[in-house]
Amino acid sequence: MGLLEGRKGLVVGVANDRSIAWGIAQAAAAEGAALAFTYQGEALLKRVTPLAESVGSRLVLPMDVTRDEDIEAAFRTLRESWEGLDFVVHAVAFANREDLSGPYLNVSRANFLQALDVSAYSFTALARAAAPLMEGRAGSLLTLTYLGAERALPNYNVMGVAKAALESSVRYLAADLGPRGIRVNAISAGPIKTLSAAAIPGFTLMLKNAEEKAPLKRNVEAAEVGRAALFLLSDLSSGVTGEILFVDSGYHIQGV
The residues carrying an active-site annotation are 146, 156
Q: What are the φ and ψ backbone dihedral angles of 236, each rounded to 5 degrees?
A: -55, -30
- Is residue 194 part of the contact set for ligand NAP (CB under 6 A)? yes
Contacting range for ligand NAP; rule: CB under 6 A; set: 80-88, 98-106, 138-146, 230-238: 138-146
In terms of CB distance, is 163 or 183 closer to ligand NAP?
163
CA–CA gap between residue 169 and residue 233 (Å, rounded): 18
In terms of CB distance, is 85 or 93 closer to ligand NAP?
93
- Is residue 192 part of the contact set for ligand NAP (CB under 6 A)? yes
- Is residue 160 part of the contact set for ligand NAP (CB under 6 A)? no
Contact between 249 and 210 (Cβ < 8 Å): yes
Q: In what order do the strands lie in the sheet with 140-145?
A: 59-62, 34-39, 8-12, 87-90, 140-145, 183-189, 244-247
Contact between 31 and 3 (Cβ < 8 Å): yes
Given candidates 94, 104, 121, 231, which one binds ligand NAP under the rule CB under 6 A?
94
Contact between 13 and 187 (Cβ < 8 Å): no
Given candidates 27, 37, 40, 161, which one binds ligand NAP under the rule CB under 6 A?
40
Positions 56 through 85 that interact with ligand NAP (CB under 6 A) = 63-66
The amino acid present at 34, given as its one-letter code, is A
- Residue 117 beta carbon to ligand NAP: minimum distance, rounded to whole angstroms: 8
Buried b (16+ CB within 10 A) or exposed e, 172-210: ebbeebeeeebbbbbbbbbbbebebbebbeebeebbeeb
- Is residue 189 part of the contact set for ligand NAP (CB under 6 A)? yes
- Residue 209 beta carbon to ligand NAP: minimum distance, rounded to whole angstroms: 13
The amino acid present at 61, given as its one-letter code, is L
- Is residue 121 part of the contact set for ligand NAP (CB under 6 A)? no
In terms of CB distance, is 138 or 207 closer to ligand NAP?
207
- Is residue 88 part of the contact set for ligand NAP (CB under 6 A)? no
Sign of CA dihedral 192, 195, 199, 201: positive
Binding-site ranges for ligand NAP (CB under 6 A):
13-15, 19-21, 40-41, 44, 63-66, 91-94, 118, 144-146, 189, 191-192, 194-197
